[in-house]
Structure 1
Amino acid sequence: MTMENPTPEAPKSSRGAVLLVDDEKPLLDLYAEALSPFFDVAAATSAKEAGFLLHKRAFKVVVSDHLMPGGNGLSFLVDAREEYPDMQRVLVTGYMKPEMLLRSVNEAALYRYLLKPVSLPELVKTVVEAAKLHDQSVAPK
């Protein structure tokens, strides 16, 4: 903390990046606004677009909606786990069926799932905790 910068907030570049994936643009904007004070936020409106973003930069956490046109969020997170095992994964869904819960645990290794409607404080808390877990998993042993 300096006199020029009295806030303890980290500079944008060192805050870590979070990827949000949701086909509902108003929700995406709301989530991004809630998370932007804490993270560098990138947003995608489809699993395909999110896949392109994953190849461009490193993300600590990805938060994906489940049901989207042209791609299932859970399948996207399963694929993301294979390629980016340290990135934490959060699924947002309207309904978690038992078989989907089993798959999310076994195949996607989700950090957590959030049921819609998601409260913004819960979203922020979950993503901050997931980012801490990411940092612990990549820290030198």
Structure 2
Amino acid sequence: MFRLNRMDAWILLAMFRAGNQNKTDYAGIVSCLPDISLAVPTHQEFKAAYNKFLYIKFIVAEGANTSLAPAAQQLVEAAQPGPAISSAQAWVDAICNTLAAYKCKSMCNRHEWQEAQYLLGVELFSKLKGANNVN
């Protein structure tokens, strides 16, 4: 049995943000991780989340592009904290609480996402994070 966890919630939010910015390739998704107090997910953690989300039909994979299915889109939007709480951490926590109800008896085993794309995404994420810390 595979459970969805906080890392999966964080990656799901990155997919949501990437879709809103038309960055649906793997590097774009990694670069759209919200800045929260966790270590950046590894390539293996991204691949595991991808395969869980594919299994429960939360994502749509079209070649090199990955987007959220309508159910996942609605889940992420419904979990967004109100204007009084604007932290990404609160949003990830709310998504995680909703995902806790999902259990996967299995997961897919697809390998569309490549490590070179992951490394590019981490580099872009680091640059964006550094640019935001300068202000």
Q: TM-score, normalised by structure 2?
A: 0.31
Larger Rg: 1
Between Structure 1 and Structure 2, which shows a larger proportion of strand residues?
1
- Structure number with the bigger relative contact order (C-alpha 8 A, sep ≥ 6) is 2
Q: TM-score, normalised by structure 1?
A: 0.30
Between Structure 1 and Structure 2, which shows a larger proportion of helix residues?
2
